[in-house]
Amino acid sequence: MKITMIPAKRLASAAGVSLVLALPSQVYAHYIPAEGEPTQVHGTVMTTWRSASPVDQYEFWQIPGAFMGGDAWPVSQGVSLDEVSVTAAKRLDENTFVKLGVSTHDGSDGHQSVGIEHASIGFVCCDVKGPWVVDVGRMSAAFSPELLAHRSTSKFTEPSLIADVFFGRHFHDQGIRIWLHETAGWSAGAEIWQGKAFPATDGTDGGAWDAFARYSFSVGSVEANIGAWHYRAQASSRADHRYGGGHQHTPVAAPGEQAVQFPDVRYTCDLDLTGVHAGASVGVGKSARVGIKGAWAQLNMEGILHDSGSREADVTADQYAVWVQPYLTLNKHTIALRAERFVADNTLTGAAAETLGEGAGALSEEGHTPERFTAAWLYQWRPQVQFRTEYISDQTFADGQNRYAVGVVWQGSFFNSVSSD
């Protein structure tokens, strides 16, 4: 039996995605430009029409039991520009490379966030592309695959509950990463963060670190990967900056509508997140591939909820989120399903526990477990253009909602300079 180690680029191609479409995740987290390669510049545009938003215009999107924040905005009804990004990577010399990236993401009610996602310098040692690599600067986290790539490289237009609930959808922070880079199928390393990315805070009482390892291999037509990670953060007066944390304002509703002020409840705590992920696929004939992938993440948190009125409540949280995704790719078509679940066991004590818990979204709805089911069809019309349709059964709230989505993604290099190695 022959076992072959496979890099991330081949994994993406084997799943029915062209090299051009596989490049974004490489540029963001894995891709290391080779010596002599021209500057790599890549762009992405993703736009989607949706039949509904999970919450009304004057409501706050707080999945029951979750401590949400970051950029986890609810999707918008109608047409939204989900993502526009431009990234660049350049090899400077034998041991040094740089990455730059700017993107914008659509939030609810027109909240369009634009930011620098990557501004880092990297150093390689002991080989052309490693195996040891050190990255310093502003980067995406590498410990979880869900934080490596954007929705444009996923099979679904909406991020997973793991990404939204535990990490505020996007994770970009200043830090340093030391890792073994795709050597004999292995990638493993550690990252230390300043703490600007949700759920941590920066400063003397904040910060975060993580450690991770993953392994990819193939046996005949079967390709598989498995990985695990651990993330630890300290947060001091962490706010939900979507609606609070100094960003809140007195809402003004349209005639006949009602709007309320967001309760700016914050938490100070230590928290640990642990996760595992795995995937496998098998080629069927010359043009089909069947696969399944999944992820699980567990959060443990202990600290204090508090607000500007000096009210406090002790909080202990034990939560997990999980998703499973089978898929079939045939020629230019892909059918994918995803089932997700979020379970929260939060204990709040103190005179203000109920009030602060409700304001923080930490109270679960009795007898209800947040779940979401998605069915998607993707059509690779051109090497750089993909069409998508989706049906989402969203049961994250007790009343539930069914919605539909139709979208298009363009991804491509501005220069024809992708390395063939």
Cα separations (Å) of 159 from 71, 116, 168, 314?
11, 20, 10, 30
Burial of residue 254 (number of CB atoms within 10 Å: 0-12, 13-18, 19+): exposed
> Tell me, what's the pLDDT at 131?
84
Region 319-327: mean pLDDT is: 98
Lowest mean pLDDT among 99-108, 274-283, 393-402: 99-108
Q: Give residue for tokens 């809402």.
A: 251
Region 6-11: mean pLDDT is: 38
pLDDT confidence bin for 17, thresholds 50/70/90: very low
Render pLDDT for 242-284 as a digit per residue (tens, 0 to 9): 887 765 555 666 676 766 778 889 999 999 999 999 999 999 9
Q: Which residue has the higher pLDDT, 121 or 146?
A: 121
Residues 311 and 341: beta-carbon distance below 8 Å = no
Q: Which residue has the higher pLDDT, 420 or 37?
A: 37
Q: Which residues are paired to 374 by β-bridges? A: 338, 392
User: Residue 420: inside a domain, yes or no?
Assistant: no
DSSP string, 285-345: TTTEEEEEEEEEEEEEEEEEEE-TT--EEEEEEEEEEEEEEEEEEETTEEEEEEEEEEEEE
User: Residue 421: inside a domain, yes or no?
Assistant: no
Q: Give residue for tokens 């990967």.
A: 225
> Tell me, what's the pLDDT at 249?
55
Q: Which two tokens stand for residue 400?
A: 């539930």
Report which residue type is found at 387: F
CA 316 – CA 350 distance, rounded (Å): 12
Task: Report the sign of the C-alpha dihedral through residues 342, 166, 358, 356, in that order.
Answer: positive
> Tell me, what's the pLDDT at 152?
86
CA 371 – CA 358 distance, rounded (Å): 20
CA 333 – CA 338 distance, rounded (Å): 17
Answer whether 0.75 is exceeded by the pTM.
Answer: yes
User: Residue 254: inside a domain, yes or no?
Assistant: yes
Render pLDDT for 73-96 as a digit per residue (tens, 0 to 9): 999 999 999 999 999 999 999 899
Q: Residue 228: in which H helix or E strand, if any? A: strand 222-238
Using a pLDDT cut of 70, give the percent of the chain over it.
86
> Tell me, what's the pLDDT at 133?
93
* Average pLDDT, rounded, for the chain: 86
User: Residue 55: inside a domain, yes or no?
Assistant: yes
CA 305 – CA 89 distance, rounded (Å): 42
Task: Answer whether residue 23 shows pLDDT above 60.
Answer: no
> Tell me, what's the pLDDT at 326?
98
User: Residue 85: inside a domain, yes or no?
Assistant: yes
* Angle, alpha carbons 199-204-210 (nearest 5°): 45
Region 360-367: mean pLDDT is: 86
Task: Answer whether residue 30 shows pLDDT above 60.
Answer: yes
User: Residue 272: inside a domain, yes or no?
Assistant: yes
Render pLDDT for 201-248 as a digit per residue (tens, 0 to 9): 998 889 999 999 999 999 999 999 999 999 999 999 998 888 877 655
Region 185-193: mean pLDDT is: 95
The per-residue b/e assignment along 110-137, b for 16 or more CB within 10 angstroms, e otherwise, is: eeeeeeebbebebebeeeebbbebebeb
Q: Give residue for tokens 């914008």.
A: 104
> Tell me, what's the pLDDT at 251?
64
User: Residue 419: inside a domain, yes or no?
Assistant: no
> Tell me, what's the pLDDT at 121?
96
Report which residue type is found at 372: R
Q: Which residue has the higher pLDDT, 147 or 164?
A: 164
CA 150 – CA 46 distance, rounded (Å): 10
Most trustworthy range by pLDDT among 41-55, 116-130, 149-163? 41-55
Q: CATH no. for residue 298?
A: 2.40.160.10
User: Residue 52: inside a domain, yes or no?
Assistant: yes
As a dihedral over the C-alpha atoms of residue 213, residue 7, residue 182, residue 222, rounded to 10 degrees, the angle is: 40
Task: Answer whether residue 71 shows pLDDT above 80.
Answer: yes
Residues 67 and 360: beta-carbon distance below 8 Å = yes
Region 299-320: mean pLDDT is: 94
Quote the number of domains for the chain.
1
Residues 39 and 253: beta-carbon distance below 8 Å = no
CA 75 – CA 82 distance, rounded (Å): 9
Expressed as residue numbers, the domain containing 67 is 3-413
pLDDT confidence bin for 11, thresholds 50/70/90: very low
Region 125-141: mean pLDDT is: 86
> Tell me, what's the pLDDT at 419?
42
DSSP string, 95-116: SEEEEEEEEEEE-GGG-EEEEE
Task: Answer whether residue 1 shows pLDDT above 50.
Answer: no
Region 180-205: mean pLDDT is: 92
Region 318-322: mean pLDDT is: 98
